[in-house]
Amino acid sequence: MSVNAIDVAFRAEWSQLVATLVRDLGDLALAEDVAQEAFVAASQRWHQDGIPRRPGAWLLTTARRKAIDKIRRDRRFEDRLPILAAQLDDVDDPADGPRQLADDQLALIFGCCHPALDVDAQVALTLRYIGGLSTAQIGRAFLVPEPTMAKRLVRAKRKIRSAGIPFAVPEGQVLDERIEAVCGVIYAIFTEGHASTDGVALMRGGLCDEALWLAETLASLVPDNGDVRGLTALCLLTDSRRAARTDEAGQPVLLADQDRSLWDRDKMDRGFRHLFASQTATARGAYQLRASLAAVHATAPTYEETEWAAIVRIYDTILASGPNPIVALNRAAAVVERDGPEAGLSEIDRSNVDGALDHYHYFHSARAEVLSRLERLDAAHAAYDKAIETCDNDAERTWLQERQALLSDAR
């Protein structure tokens, strides 16, 4: 048996295993402990005996036995013993069927993303228990030392236990509200991978991959929710451009200059399927509209043939639900292409209401690009200064410095 077999089983079974154990035991920390012990046992036993016909059932049975051993030493969970003992006698219990597994996973997701936890804790818990990332991997992904991330997870688990946060699927209006929060956590993971806020690289592909897996898993669990479908479509269509977004040196490549033959057609197709499904689903919202924007870019044969008027209209629809400076800035960038740099510059400046974008480097870089097109080179140079000053990502900062240097040559 190769080590890869354990890796494959971990990826396929981890979140379902933890979700079922949380239902069985009513305690996240205990569920995690026995799930980990089950995988340790698998790495030893499968090497000798071969991979079982049903790896998930083997892992669950082993984890339940580990749990019984622990419970016998710790009477806090004594009331769970009869349930676990009965389940060991019948591993094919209908309660562990596909629908129950889906409900267990949903319950785990909602528990990890409970509003009583802060957003950092929600993201960390989701990556740990749904995505299966180690504490070290999560720490690296968000540029946090492993001990710091470990403490964050411990605090979150204590909060879950002390506050009695339930691992259950909410109903009715609460379900819709909580789904929106879950989508927000997944999208936060994706955006940090797609455009890293700090660090060396522009992108963190591993985080993008985790977010895509989480989104598609959630879509399989609640296939009739339009916002979930829209989120999944948005992430897939946006990430389809990943290979073209940087050059060989890791520097950003503008959308106008990207080699569209490098765009991932499989991700596009999957994204379009989710977008089409969202059209007839319930709870349609902002993610579906943003996915529609990504779809316009995906279907344009060239940058010049992009339907900028359609993009502006979609942004107008998004802004109709409430002001958002970043959305307004993105709309302004589309106005530049539809109506020209002079009109676009006015829209860019208008997006910075009350200085909301003063520390947002994309605002200053957008101004710099448009000012350079208008041949207002001194103003463009000053805008690049602000963009460089407010940028925390090494790759983007280097790219901005190079753009400014080209501008200086022109001056």
- The reply to whether 27 and 152 lie within a common domain is no
- The reply to whether 283 and 272 lie within a common domain is yes
In a domain, 153, yes or no: yes
- The reply to whether 90 and 115 lie within a common domain is no
- The reply to whether 221 and 269 lie within a common domain is yes
Average pLDDT, the chain: 87
| Percent above pLDDT 70 for the chain | 90
In a domain, 390, yes or no: no
Q: What count of other Cβ atoms lies within 10 Å of the Cβ of residue 362?
A: 17
CA–CA separation, 36 vs 16, rounded Å?
Answer: 13
Tokens of 166: 């339930």
Using the 3D structure, point to which of 45, 74, 95 is the last residue of a domain.
95
Query: At 82, is the pLDDT very low, low, confident or very high (cuts 50, 70, 90)?
Result: low
- The reply to whether 287 and 174 lie within a common domain is yes
Report the sign of the C-alpha dihedral through residues 54, 57, 60, 61, in that order.
negative
State which residues form the domain around 13: 3-95
> Is residue 194 within 8 Å of 362, Cβ to Cβ?
no
- The reply to whether 139 and 174 lie within a common domain is no
In a domain, 247, yes or no: yes
CA–CA separation, 257 vs 399, rounded Å?
Answer: 14
In a domain, 201, yes or no: yes
Amino acid at 247: D
In a domain, 348, yes or no: no
Tokens of 306: 């992009």
CATH number of 83's domain: 1.10.1740
Using the 3D structure, point to which of 303, 324, 344 is the last residue of a domain.
303
- The reply to whether 48 and 135 lie within a common domain is no
Tokens of 124: 């960390």
CA–CA separation, 317 vs 173, rounded Å?
Answer: 24
Count of domains in the chain? 3
Identify the pLDDT of residue 72.
Answer: 78
Give the least confident one: 78-82, 127-131, 323-327. Answer: 78-82
Burial label for 247, CB within 10 Å (0-12, 13-18, 19+), is: exposed
In a domain, 316, yes or no: no
In a domain, 408, yes or no: no
- The reply to whether 183 and 297 lie within a common domain is yes
Whether the pLDDT of residue 94 is over 50: the answer is no
Tokens of 258: 């990207």
CA–CA separation, 47 vs 56, rounded Å?
Answer: 16
Give the least confident one: 106-115, 141-150, 158-167, 391-400. Answer: 141-150
CATH number of 150's domain: 1.10.10.10
Nearest C-alpha neighbor of 170 from the set 80, 100, 101, 106? 106
Angle of helix 172-194 relative to helix 98-112, nearest 10 degrees? Answer: 70
Q: What count of other Cβ atoms lies within 10 Å of the Cβ of residue 387?
A: 25
DSSP state of 164: T
Using the 3D structure, point to which of 95, 126, 150 is the last residue of a domain.
95
Tokens of 393: 């990502």
- The reply to whether 90 and 106 lie within a common domain is no
- The reply to whether 296 and 192 lie within a common domain is yes
In a domain, 381, yes or no: no
- The reply to whether 282 and 202 lie within a common domain is yes
State pLDDT tens for residues 6-49: 787 887 889 889 999 998 888 898 899 999 999 999 988 888 88
- The reply to whether 145 and 35 lie within a common domain is no
> Is residue 208 within 8 Å of 246, Cβ to Cβ?
no
